[in-house]
Structure formats: C-alpha cells, structure tokens
Amino acid sequence: MTYIKKKRNIFLAQVNYRYGDNAFMPYSVATLQAYAQTDSEVRNNFDFQPLLFLREDPDQVARKMERPAVLGLSCYLWNWEYNKLLAQAVRAYHPDCLIVMGGIHVPEHSDGSIVRGGIRIPKPSGGFFVEHPYVDIAVHGEGEITFASILLESFLSNPNYAKIPGISLRVDGNQTLKTSSPNRLSDLSKLSSPYLTGVFDSIVNRPFLWNASQETNRGCPYPCTFCAWGRILAEMEWFGRHRIEYIFNCDANWGILDRDYDLTVKMVEIKARYGGYPKKFRMCTAKNSNDRVFDITKVLDDAGMNKGATLSFQSMNDTVLEAVKRRNIKIKDFAEFMRRYREAKIATYTELIMGLPCETYQTFKYGIDTLIDAGQHSGLNNYVCLMLPNDEMSEPAYVEKYGIRSVRMPILLAHSTPGSNLVQEYQDVVVATNSMPEEDWQRMFIFSWAVQCFHCLGLTRDIAILFRRQFGLNYSDFYERLIGYFAANSQTLVGQQFTVTSKIVAEAIHGGRLDLVLPRFGDICWPLEEASFLNFIIDKERFYLEIKAFVRMLAVDLTLTTDDALINDLIAYQSSLTIDPFNSELSVELQHGLHDYFSGFGNSGTEIKQVRNKLIIKADKDFAGDLERYAREVVWYGRKGGRFHHSNIVVEMI
C-alpha cells in the first residue's frame, strides 16, 4: 500500500443556532473524529482542526482554513443552507479539498423537489451532484466507519472510493455512483466517546452554556450485554465535571430497560457531587408510558432535572394514525398517567402534529377536546408537519396518494437567537392534503394558537374548565367562540393579536415566517402563541377586562344562569393566579370558593360554594418588571414545566 507522506488537515463542521448563551456541542462530527482517531494510520497522517459549530460567515470560515484536505459536513434542517454555502466557499478557495456531506438531511433516494400540479414532489434519484457539484461524496446512514474509510482511502495515491459501502460518489462529471449499503452498528461500545477521548477539549472552556447529546444505545434497544454501562457513567461524570447545563439523551425509548432507572439514579448522584451539574436531562421515553418511566421521571423531578414527562400522540384519529403508521397509548391509560403525574406535581406535555394525512379540522379539534378532557391542560404542544428527506411522507407515491402540498418557509426554531441568522434556513411545511384544504389548515393553526396561548399558557384555563364542568361546553367550542368574538372586535387588545397572528399565518402559506421577535423581551424568536401571551401579560388589566366582556357575552349566548358576582370572581381569580412580571405579592377577595373548586381541575359534580374568602399570593420569584428575565424563565424555560400559575397561595376565610 503506497501512501503520500504529507500530513493533512481535516475540518469537521456541525453548525447550529445559538439560543441566547446556550450552544450545542457538535456531537455527530465529534463521534466521527473520535472513531477515526482509533486508527493509527489516521492519527499518523491527519490533523483534526478545531470543530466548527458556530454560524459564522461561511466565506470567512473557508478563507481562514489552512490547507484543508478534507471537509466533513453534518447536515440537518437547521444547517443545510449554511453547509451548502460553506462547501461552495471551500471549493472556491481550496479546489483540491475533498468535500464530504453526511447526516440525515442528505438524500438517500432523492434530491430536492419539484412542484407538479401544485404538489411538491421529490426528484428522481441520481441528481444530487448535478445540483451540488461542489460536493465529492455523500454519506448515507451512520458515518463513523464510513468516514474513517474515506480518510484512509483519500491518503492513497490512487484512491478508490467506490469500494466503500454507504456512499454516493461524484463520477464522470456530476454523475452519481451509489455503493452498497453498510451493516448497521448495534454495539455502542465499539465507538469511542468524543467526551472521554478529548475531542471537545478545544471548545469546552469557551464561554457558553453547553448543551450536550448523549447516546446510551445504538441500534437495537434491547442490548444483550451492559458493555456500554461504563462509558455512559464516565460521560455523565464528564458532564458534571465540565458543568454541562443540559443533556439531550439520544435514546428514542428511555425507560424501556431496567438499567435506565439505575442510570438515572447514578446521574442524580453525579449532579450532587458536582455542585448541581448537569442541570437538566431531556429524554424521549418509551412511546407507551409505564411505571418505570414514571419512576424515572419522579427521580429527575425530585432532583430538579426534569423537563417534563412526554405523553405524545401526534393525532387522536385512527385513520390518521394508520396513514402515518403510528399507534397511541389508550386514552384511558393516558388519563390515568395524567392523574398520577398531577398528584405527584410532575409536569407533562403532549405533542400533536398539524396537517398529517387524513386529518381534518374536525378530527383535529376532536383530538384537542379528548386530550384536555383527559387532563392535559397545560402541556399541549402542537407542531407543523414537516417534509424531510428520506421520510416516507416525502416519497412521490405517498405525496400523490394523500394530496400533500407543502410550502417552503423560513425555519421555526423556537427561542433561537435571530442575530445568528447569517444564512436563512428553511423548512417544508405541509399546508394542505386531500382531507384538509389550505383554508382549513389556516383555521386549524389559528385554533391551535388560541388553545395553546389562552388555555395551555394559563390565561383562561380555569374559566374554560368551569364552563366545561358546570355547563358542559366543550373546550373547542369555548375557544372557537373566543376566536369569533375577538375577530369581530378587532379594536381590542386580544382582537389586535388575533389580526396579527392571522396575517402571519396567511403569509406563511406563501412562504412567510411563523415566529416573531419582540425586542422588549430579548433577542429571541418566539412561537406565535408565546408572543401573544407576552403581549397580553404586560397589559394584564386590559386583557382581563376584555375576557370578562367575552365571558358575559358567552353566558348570555348560551342562556346560562350565572350571577355577575361569579363572573367577577372567576375573572379576578384567573387574573391573580397568572404570574406576571410586575407583581410578587397580591391578595384578592372573592365571594366564591374557587380555589378549592379548581384544586382538582374542577371535577365533574363539584359544587361552587358561596363563601367569602381572601387569596394571599406570594410569587416564587420577584421579576421586578424585568421583561427579558420573565420571558426567559417563565415562558421559555417554564413552558414544559407548566410554570404560568402561582403555587404559593393561602386561602383565608372572611
């Protein structure tokens, strides 16, 4: 084997957005480096340069590179456009550099998309290098072994990349040669940890609040041995020692194994030893929650590390679930878990996806009612449906079958820092299907905005609960009527926010943004429901006067027998309960025992007692009018913890 003798520089890039002072460690490319450096030929013949992870000017980044021999780019939704520009700049400044793209955004079978009959359809395979002639190799699937093989082959005087499995290779100009598929790794212990091998040493001391990803298995979720146990614990020690703020666990089913509970306990012990680090642990739990998941969540919650227990559905409609090949936990089991988590005072959140095949406005609305009736009042998170490369939903036959139409719009990355947006990234959002025309998609989005802003963020939650329990009004009917009332009263504060939100959603259908930056609350991209909440909370008195007018109108329209004193108490109670940036101590006198009534979210049959009482409320934190701190701690950090209502409440009888 004949090698060229000169040592070569390797650059690896996995750029991401900043979230204030928070930054993500570039774990994917770091694993490539850690594995490659286990080979003596790689260590002896290549120099790995500091990892590229910030969204800096790609032209300047390329210009500053010294003799790059290989550039490896990890690609996903949030850096695809950036990586393309960086690759082009490197090709211009360093024509001989071998440019390798990998990651799940690199098309496996298709490239880009075309619009045919108003429907977005992927192009046939084979055109990747025609569209991206500055790329030499595209890696499909896992990259550690493949990238190491590419490095070793590149060092030969006559490299033959075609013998490496798992790649597409640019040949004969811009034609594509795709090699055979590689075997998947099923044993994490065969990979070196980038944390434990020093790959991150060059960046870990930089002044960021670090977010780190951790793999706890690879491949089959039921490993036959515990050979990765030592690595996992050692990495957790590393996280504590280096004061890592936030761990993203990469396991899709944390809690499915007995060892997951034991590892969670060990991590909490590590946090205690290292002065409170790591601070938070984000996990994706087994899809059908169980007692072990509950116990794990309880351990994390007691240690202050929990980011909320996930009880997700995507859709509540069986036809939709069949179309997307998904099964849900039974709703009665969901309601029981909601009860257990609520009694343990553990926050939960449930995710739905808007615009899935076979979904209609009515089925989506029914799903919202079902979940709230089952007890999910604060943690309902609704997301748009994205078209991603290599997903079945992006395949031409699937697109045609369900009449999927998507629109390319600027990416929505909640709470990211807009100042880091030197290169605009995009997302393809489903805005219509055979079962849901564009008008219904917009209607669904506005309905979702209202439910999340007013109910889940706590502005009118207890009001809606009372109307549901006492008068049988569905939550969806309550919020549809709220939307209709304020759409007809556009001069109001709520009406103005409805108008702004409706305009943004209408423009998104044509490629507009689905977020807002509110300078008074910091340099942050806010989802629309959170932006509206923040605009309401700083004008809280006016907001609740308008809500009172709506409630009175609603009672009249429904011909309900309600006295004005109850409505006044209800509005005063809801307003006082909702945390704002200005008030740290307050008291309110009521004519009805509403706090006792709502203690169990107003169980059916509970009587509202007429009794004079005073609520004395003391906030856990005094924000003293600091809007940025309030927005960050209550809305950004607190949303999945359900932190919008005061918890320190004393009731005194008068």
pLDDT tens, 56-72? 999 999 999 999 999 99
Tell how strand 111-116 and strand 515-517 pair up.
Answer: unpaired
- Alpha-carbon distance of 482 to 487, in angstroms, equals 8
Taking residue 623's Cβ as centre, other Cβ atoms within 10 Å add up to: 19
pLDDT, average across residues 486-505: 98
Of 252, 246, 211, 218, which Cα lies nearest the Cα of 232? 218
What residue type is assigned to position 560 of the chain? L
pLDDT, average across residues 71-82: 96
- Alpha-carbon distance of 491 to 501, in angstroms, equals 14
For residue 278, whether the previous peptide bond is cis, meaning omega lies within 30 degrees of 0, is: yes
Q: What are the percentages of helix, strand and coil residues in the chain, rounded to 5?
A: 40, 20, 40
- Strand ranges in 386-480 using DSSP code E only, listed in sequence order: 386-387, 405-410, 426-432
Cβ contact 433:355 at 8 Å: yes
pLDDT tens-digit readout, 249-265: 998 888 888 899 999 99
Taking residue 23's Cβ as centre, other Cβ atoms within 10 Å add up to: 22
Helix (H) or strand (E) holding 175: strand 175-178
pLDDT tens-digit readout, 29-62: 999 999 999 999 999 999 999 999 999 999 999 9
Radius of gyration of the chain (CA): 27
| Whole-number pLDDT of residue 640 | 81
What are the tokens at 639? Answer: 């949303």
- Alpha-carbon distance of 69 to 278, in angstroms, equals 37
pLDDT tens-digit readout, 3-16: 556 789 999 999 99
DSSP, collapsed to helix, strand or coil, labels residue 194 as coil
- Alpha-carbon distance of 138 to 125, in angstroms, equals 13
Q: Band the pLDDT of 490: cuts 50, 70, 90.
A: very high
- Alpha-carbon distance of 258 to 256, in angstroms, equals 7
Three-state SS letters, 87-156: HHHHHHHCCCCEEEEECCCCCCCCEEEEEECCEEEEECCCCHHHHCCCCCEEECCCCHHHHHHHHHHHCE
| Whole-number pLDDT of residue 311 | 81
Of 594, 581, 584, 596, which Cα lies nearest the Cα of 633? 581
DSSP, collapsed to helix, strand or coil, labels residue 182 as coil
Q: Half-sphere exposure (CA, 13 Å, Cβ side) for 206?
A: 17
Most confident of the following: 93-97, 323-327, 643-647: 93-97
Percentage of residues in the chain having pLDDT higher than 70: 93
Place of tokens 């809305």: 635
Of 13, 220, 20, which Cα lies nearest the Cα of 100? 13
What residue type is assigned to position 68 of the chain? P
What are the tokens at 127? Answer: 């055109």
- Alpha-carbon distance of 360 to 352, in angstroms, equals 13
| Whole-number pLDDT of residue 173 | 85
Q: Half-sphere exposure (CA, 13 Å, Cβ side) for 21?
A: 7
DSSP track, 375-401: T-SS-EEEEE-EE-TT-GGGSHHHHHH
Cβ contact 199:30 at 8 Å: yes
Cα torsion angle, 314, 315, 316, 320, sign: negative
- Alpha-carbon distance of 363 to 169, in angstroms, equals 46
Choose between 4 and 233: higher pLDDT. Answer: 233
Chain-centroid distance of CA 329 in Å reads 21
Taking residue 556's Cβ as centre, other Cβ atoms within 10 Å add up to: 10
pLDDT, average across residues 566-573: 97
Taking residue 302's Cβ as centre, other Cβ atoms within 10 Å add up to: 12
What residue type is assigned to position 249 of the chain? N
Taking residue 321's Cβ as centre, other Cβ atoms within 10 Å add up to: 17
Of 124, 128, 178, 129, which Cα lies nearest the Cα of 396? 124
DSSP, collapsed to helix, strand or coil, labels residue 150 as helix
pLDDT, average across residues 618-622: 95
Backbone angles phi, psi at 318, to 5 degrees: -65, -35
Helix (H) or strand (E) holding 122: strand 119-123
**Partners of 74 in beta bridges:** 102
Place of tokens 């307003």: 575
Taking residue 654's Cβ as centre, other Cβ atoms within 10 Å add up to: 9
- Alpha-carbon distance of 160 to 162, in angstroms, equals 5
Counting every residue, how long is the chain? 654
Backbone angles phi, psi at 609, to 5 degrees: -85, 140
Question: Taking the model in full, what pTM does it have?
Answer: 0.91
| Whole-number pLDDT of residue 219 | 62
- Alpha-carbon distance of 163 to 336, in angstroms, equals 55
Q: Would you state the torsion angle of the CA atoms of residues 52, 56, 58, 64, taken in this order, to the nearest 10 degrees?
A: -70
In the β-sheet with 649-653, what is the strand arrangement from edge to edge? 585-592, 610-618, 649-653
260: which residues sit within 8 A by CB, 6+ positions away? 216, 251, 254, 292, 296
Q: Is the pLDDT of residue 192 over 50?
A: yes
Cβ contact 648:617 at 8 Å: yes
Place of tokens 């008030």: 583
- Alpha-carbon distance of 479 to 364, in angstroms, equals 14
Q: Is the pLDDT of residue 228 over 80?
A: no
What are the tokens at 303? Answer: 């240690």
| Whole-number pLDDT of residue 603 | 52
pLDDT tens-digit readout, 342-382: 888 888 889 999 999 999 999 999 999 999 999 999 999 99
pLDDT, average across residues 184-203: 89
| Whole-number pLDDT of residue 93 | 98
| Whole-number pLDDT of residue 643 | 84
Of 414, 433, 442, 410, which Cα lies nearest the Cα of 511? 410
User: CA triplet 16, 21, 22: central angle to 5 degrees?
Assistant: 50
DSSP, collapsed to helix, strand or coil, labels residue 99 as strand
What residue type is assigned to position 613 of the chain? N
Cβ contact 108:142 at 8 Å: no
**Partners of 119 in beta bridges:** 116
pLDDT, average across residues 494-502: 98
